[in-house]
Chains A and B, each alone.
Chain A
Amino acid sequence: MKKVTKYAIIAQEKCNGCKTCYAICPVLAIRMENKKATIIGDRCLGCSNCEQRCPEYAITIVPLEKPFWVGLDVNKFDQLKIMELCTKAKFHPDQVICFCTGSRAGEIAAAIIDGAKTPEDISLKTGVRTGCKVLCIEPVLRLLQAAGIEPRKPDGYQWTGITATLWELSEEVKNKYGSRGFYFDADREFLEGNLAYESKKGGK
């Protein structure tokens, strides 16, 4: 759940039409019109990505008079389905996956159950990927994959693809590097132990 406190404004006269903002907006809130970037209605969730990368400094971020919340009430969704999806993706529903918004895996699963098919859909429903814009893309992709969804890529470079987890490392890789301080199997056991501990408690 994210508290949205600000939004972007584009100074059209400064925009050079480079499409950088369009290519990186995590909620697809920017469209190109007559070779100028324009914010689409009230879709902006104030992440500052566009403002931080605009080469012309054409974008400013201004405070909202009335901040609002974006997020889902996990309790309104089928808890068993949430647990199944999270477990398949090797997350616990209560595990934080976005350190900026505090969003947990269960909320992302709820967004998928609610019809989200892409990381952008999930961001619009939950606010994840609109804080630092960096750290939570892989959990989002892992949960979509667990739901059997192959998300359609946007017309930009908002994200590329899913990457390996501890559960996919080959024995060859582990043997090759294990003596240099990487505790692959122990970390995997540790993470799995946490999931098992929650299950033993009956989960949530």
Chain B
Amino acid sequence: MSKPVLKPMEPRATQYGIPPESLKKRAAELRGMTSLLVKELFPETPDPIYPGSELSAIREEAKRALNHVDFSKIKPSDTVNILGSHHGFTLLGGGPYAEMLRTIKDEVAARTGTKNIRLRVGVGLRFRESEEYIKRFELDKYFDGKAMGIAPVDQPITIETEVGPLYGIKKAYDAKWFIHAHNSDMREIHFHRLVDRILKPFGMSYARIETRSAYHHNLGPRGANFIARAIFESPFIKEKFIASVILRTSPIGILGVDADNNLYDQSDRTTIEIMRHYGKLIRILNKIDKCIAVIDCPGPIPYTFAAGLIFANFLSANVDVFDLSLPLTPYSFYSEMSYDQTGKPRFPGVPPINPAIGAVVNNYSFKGYPSTFFAEHTPTIVVGQELARLFELCEQNSEYMSHAVIAKDLDNAMNFARKIAQTDNVIVFDGAQGGVNVSESLREFLLKKAGQVRKEVEETLMPTWLKQRGIKLKRPEPHAKSMN
């Protein structure tokens, strides 16, 4: 029996997107669409504390987790930077992450007596994005005028590491102490390969262009995230680091907050949790043999969400992205550099972009991420002249539209996509919570595959994934409630 569609994430007014009023129709409104809840596929997925309760649940959970953290180094006259990333604000509308940041501030102030607590929020490739979030959640007011977005082109600070100098953003580290405040959804596994996933901001959000460039060019497709560890291991960072606070997620919501003075213990706990909750989901997407993917979410193309996964995950779902014996994932910057001018792989063994994606309909997304590669490798239909013009004028995407066609509206785009892809299977990346909006045909197909995938992940794949990362399954989890 058909299930009602899930509510897609609302469009957002931003300098990186078309005005919300320009979005005429959502993919969830298309005829024949239904939804598939993650819980229908994998009932063992734990119930989230949010959504399903007020934001106060996040505050309570953060306070509980922070109770275990030692703040004794911080004196009343000390400065403390809380370091955040834009990513956290893209989860469930951003409210939970904002509340976690507020709670950290309040707890540090209450327990140490310092009033000089600043918020510094890093960005990806849209340099004012965090400013927009700070304004939206009135964090500047909450942090007494001491909240700011930081960008990788801002003033540098040299960080001496075991691999030579790397470069951070000076404003990130301009306090005596800092607290790392991040989130645990799987997100860019094509970049971090789930090795030190929660350390990534040290090599990215808090890092200068040279460090980020080294990440994507100098260290190789599996070692990229070592840049983050090299920075975290530096005496400069070690001297300033107080604790790490992580918003724990599953594909259906916020599970809680994990806080620890030991980042590596926390990292191992988080890695296990990500494998458990996201592993099955991405592996079930691997079973799809043909579909149309609709991008319809307030975010840049690869960061649009479906069931807690991002579109970039689907681009690589034709291989086991957790498996470190595979050097390349179908999408990553190391993969992009493996193709020649004609779009052919330059050498054997480059896995193609997920061939199950027969067509991509871009109904709503943001500019500000290099996306031409996606249009070069998947037939792409952009809905409406306004969205097409947004990409044409984006300095990171001036050639995106050279590889895409424009449809007048979503219905025409879908009709054309069906002809190209020769399928009725549709999956929508629209940020809906708790599940994914899909066509009836795809819903039935995926439901049939769930049992096989569960067995495959739990019995075969996960032990391999853990072994490759040197992680033992059973380890103390002192600060996490219901880590499953």
Contacts and interface: CB of A to CB of B under 8 A. Distances in A.
A194 B338 contact: yes
B96 to A, nearest CB: 27
B219 A187 contact: yes
Interface in A43-58: 46-49, 52-53
B241 to A, nearest CB: 18
Residue among B163, B193, B468 with max Cβ neighbours from chain A (10 Å): B163
Contact of B162 (A3, A92, A99, A173): A173
B151 A131 contact: no
B211 interface: yes
Nearest to B192: A181
A181 B468 contact: yes
A40 interface: no
B214 A164 contact: yes
Contact of A194 (B167, B212, B214, B346): B346
Interface stretch (A9-17, A28-36, A154-162): A154-162
A150 interface: no
Nearest to B376: A102
A137 interface: yes
Contacts of B274: none
B292 interface: no
A117 interface: no
Interface in B104-153: 125, 127-128, 151-153
B395 A6 contact: yes
Contact of B346 (A95, A97, A169, A182): A95
Contacts of B222: 181-183, 186-187
B337 A173 contact: no
Interface in B220-268: 220-223, 225-226, 229
A164 B209 contact: no
Contact of B226 (A24, A95, A182, A197): A182
Nearest to B369: A132
A47 B348 CA distance: 35
A181 B469 CA distance: 4
Interface residues of B, number: 65
A113 to B, nearest CB: 19
B216 interface: yes
B117 to A, nearest CB: 22
A184 B164 contact: no
Interface string B283-322: 0000000000000000000000000000000000000000
Contact of B337 (A97, A187, A190): A97
Nearest to B158: A160
A168 interface: yes
A146 interface: no
Nearest to A188: B220
Interface string A157-195: 101111111101110110011011111101110110110
B458 to A, nearest CB: 20
A190 B338 CA distance: 11
Contacts of A100: 370, 372, 395-398
B415 interface: no
Nearest to A195: B347
A135 interface: yes
A16 B49 CA distance: 47
B27 to A, nearest CB: 27
Interface string B329-344: 0000100111111000
Interface of B: 125, 127-128, 151-156, 158, 162-167, 193-196, 208-214, 216-223, 225-226, 229, 324, 327-328, 333, 336-341, 346-348, 369-370, 372-373, 392-393, 395-399, 468-470
Q: Which 8 residue pairs are nearest across A and B when measured between Cβ atoms?
A: A187-B220, A181-B195, A138-B213, A181-B469, A52-B127, A164-B163, A99-B370, A165-B218
